[in-house]
Structure 1
Amino acid sequence: MTSGNSRTRNVLISGASIAGPALAYWLHRYGFRVTVVEKASAPRSGGYPIDVRGTAIDVAAHMGILPRLQAAHVHTERITFLDPDGAEITTLAPHTLAGSVEGRDLEVRRGDLTAILYDTVRDDVEFRFDDSIDTLDQTDHGVDVTFRSGVHRTFDLVVGADGIHSHTRNLLFGPESRFHRHLGFRFAVFTMPNTLGLSRELLMWNAPGRSAALYATGTRDDDLHAFLNLHAPEGTAADGEPELPARRESAEPDTDLITSAFTDTAWQIPDIIDAMGRADDLFTDTVAQIHLPAWSTGRTALVGDAAYAPSFLTGQGTSLALVGAYMLAHALASHPTHTAALTAYDHTTRPFVTANQSLITHGSAALFPTTAQTLNDRNKRLQTLATLPTPTPRPAYTALTLPEPPPTP
């Protein structure tokens, strides 16, 4: 990529989860000098299982990390759906519900993927942990950045890869409420003891507008990933903007709403609620997507959830992050100016993003019915699925053909 007569080579990436390190890897492959800033003190470990599917598998193969991801695959054997009393409705193979390709598409613990990406690029780019962007000032010659630590530096380009609640996006495009599309649910996720002795399986309990999932990614001796979800349509603020509930990583106050929503429930729900109150890794948020008319402005851009979070209802957040990072790096390396490159990134990647964000109807209908009638209809469909041949993979997962990668160094 060129800018006038000088090469644009010095790039700052904000965020060191998935999109950030993936973009750093590809930019380094193309010869860019890369700095990654991350507000956490180290790469984040833990987290619930995530999916890598379709075109994202090709990205992983080009990065040389596919064998490590395959080794980290959690091999979930079955998903069992339960009615409000805890009685079994049906059991399905995971790929039957997800529309993924058994033996190709992967599911890994988020912390495992983060560690693999960081290990792949850590020696080739600069990481600034326990720091973040404070201010951005774009000029004709670069972006002047002041970090929270007080350090001042200038970069040719700045990319926000800092998640659905991106601070970089707020600095560049304004309040999150402009781009946040609430999908009607609120959730809590945490780990809890495996008192049911589950092994490599998922239990999904549903009542109208409420669900609980217990996910065993390991054996009977490993903790469970617990997930509580409730139907919670948002109101509207006085200025006409959607009301955005505060993002919480503590027990106040979202757990009060969730706890009250699950009052008078059966099965193991009371024990799960008790475990939520004791969890030290509780995370709560609303289920949402991010929609922006443009992913860049001037010498700055967004990638991954910061630009186009699809929500976990699609199961495609990680895949969009990996593919988006690949496409952005390729565009920056292939076009003569940052303006042309960022325009090409949007033009070539947006149809893939749109197709995958549109998958929300599959996830919400199957996992979170909101009325007794839709729950009953869902259960009948699931019982039919159990008797059908393996479904065709969803076209959205592979709805983009990657350009050729740079030569392997």
Structure 2
Amino acid sequence: MIRSALISGAGVAGGVLAWQLAERGVEVTIVEKATGQRSSGNPVDVHDQAMRVAEHMGVADELRAAATGVRRMAVVNRAGKRVASLPAALVNAGTDGVEVPRADLASILVRAAGTRANVIFDESIAELHDGPNGVDVTLESGRSARYDIVIGADGQHSRVRSLAFGPERQFAHRLGMFVATVSAPGSEVDPALMTMLSAPGRSFSLHPSTGIPIGAFIFHSPLAEGFDSRTADASRSIVAEAYAGLGWRVPEFVERFLAAPDVYFDTVTQLRLDAWHRGRVALLGDAASSVSLFGDGSSTAIVGARTLADAVAEHPDDPAAAFEMYERRHREVVGPKQKGVATVSRQLVPRTAFGLGMRNTVLRGMQAYAALRFGRSGAGGAALA
């Protein structure tokens, strides 16, 4: 009988899974290696099925209150000249959700989970031993306990995956790109506008978020293939060299990145595993199927958490059957997204001037369509300058 569960990772996937399992009568503990709630501040979309999960959890109104005010997006060239401008209603067509800073999303979900589960920060799994009657877990603090199931919801560099499945290098497929972000408190931006600068092989996005703007660098680099994510010191020079010579506000944010004590920097990586479960241990979210920037990861993780909880409820006496059901159902959601990652990455950050020109032609066509659909003022009055 699945009566207890340990979840590694107090993020989007872990928070939803804890709430969902607890609702189904499972005693849940979450461990998070950070000392407090931490997550990337980058805005993410919560929509469609994921928004319905949020409604069921009673947090949809909180998500709407935490949403960004972005109503349009613009693309500019390396000199800052506008190439195209689109209403957000067109970019997000067909969804019924919201855009929320990832840190706020994780905080809201984990806070909800904390009303039903035990959340322990500044703690992580040191060892786990899977057996026929449970998983014996030793934490970094030295505490130990047995759980009926253990779930790794601890991100792309999952500790649970390393312990139970093998080292990350076996499953990581890098796309030859880096992503780096830095927050910019006090920076002046239009709160309704997200702007992206494009140059061959490089992209810089400025997002107003909910008051503390975020600068994001996404770029191709031959250094990405052999990069060790643990050597973060190298990130400063890599970003500075990649973005030398670009105009608009890029120099300002490169300087911010060089000076900031806390930045995000990693390779754009897709994870591919033949199985997401082994014995009484399973993986969820980015730990199982990271598609990095281009896979609608937060909404997918929320839906996956509900799918996993449903499978446990349907097979309360058989963890293997529960995990097999979860994986079979959720791979139908994740599979198409993973197949499209390489194509989307080329569209978002074209490597050549020709590819960039083709992408901009498409955007200008979308702008013309938006003018016809929404009028010159755009959706909700957003200008199409």
Normalising by the residue count of structure 1, what TM-score does the alignment of the two structures yield?
0.86
Structure 1 match to 2:23: 29
Question: Are residue 281 (structure 1) and residue 262 (structure 2) matched?
Answer: yes
> Following TM superposition, by how much is the alpha carbon of 1:51 offset from its aligned partner in structure 2, in angstroms?
1.1
Q: Secondary structure at the match of 1:112?
A: helix
The corresponding residue for 1:313 is 294
Q: 1:93 aligns with which of 74, 87, 100?
A: 87
What SS does structure 2 have at the residue aligned with 1:312?
A: helix
Within 5 Å, give how 1:117-136 maps onto structure 2. Answer: 117-136=109-128
What is the one-letter code of the residue matched to 1:41? T
Q: Choose from 57, 68, 72 the match for 2:51.
A: 57
Aligned 1:328-347 pairs, distance under 5 A? 328-335=308-315, 336-347=317-328
> 1 CA distance for matches of 2:297 and 2:68?
18
User: Which residues of structure 1 form unaligned runs of 5+?
Assistant: 1-6, 236-241, 392-409
Indicate the SS of the match to 2:17: helix
**Quick check: 1:42 aligned with 2:23?**
no
Are the counterparts in 2 of residues 247 and 285 from structure 1 also a CA contact under 8 Å? no
Task: Tell me how far apart the structure 2 counterparts of residues 231 and 275 of structure 1 sit (CA, whole Å).
Answer: 21
Number of aligned positions between the proteins: 372
- One-letter amino acid matched to 1:170: S
Contact 2:40 2:264 in 1 (8 A): no
**Counterpart-to-counterpart distance in 2, 1:45 and 1:353:** 22
Distance 1:174 1:29 in 2: 32
1:157 deviates by 0.7
Partner of residue 357, structure 2: 376
Partner of 2:382: none
Q: CA deviation at 1:281?
A: 2.4
Where has structure 1 moved over 6 Å in runs of 4 or more? none
Q: How does 1:176-191 map to 2 (within 5 A)?
A: 176-191=168-183
**Match for 1:229: what amino acid?**
I
Where does residue 278 of structure 2 map in the other structure?
Answer: 297
Matched, 1:153 2:145: yes
Contact 1:247 1:284 in 2 (8 A): no
Partner of 1:398: none
CA distance in 1, matches of 2:86, 2:343: 16
Query: Which residue is 2:229 aligned to?
Result: 246
Q: 1:98 to 1:179 in 2, by over 3 A?
A: farther
Separation in 1, partners of 2:212, 2:269 = 27
Kept in 1: contact 2:176–2:268 (CA 8 A): yes
Percentage of pairs with the same residue: 35
1:364 aligned to 345, 351, 354, which one? 345
Which residue identity is paired with 1:279? A
Q: What letter corresponds to residue 228 of structure 1 in structure 2?
A: F
Between the aligned partners of 1:233 and 1:99, the Cα distance in structure 2 is: 35
Match of 1:15 in 2: 9
- Contact map agreement 2:135 2:150 (CA 8 A) in 1: yes
Partners of 2:340 and 2:193 lie apart in 1 by 23
- Please say if 1:225 is aligned against 2:214: yes
Which residue of the other structure, out of 246, 256, 273, is the alignment partner of 1:265? Answer: 246
Q: Which has the higher helix share?
A: 2
Residue 69 of structure 1 aligns with which residue? 63
Q: Secondary structure at the match of 1:354?
A: helix
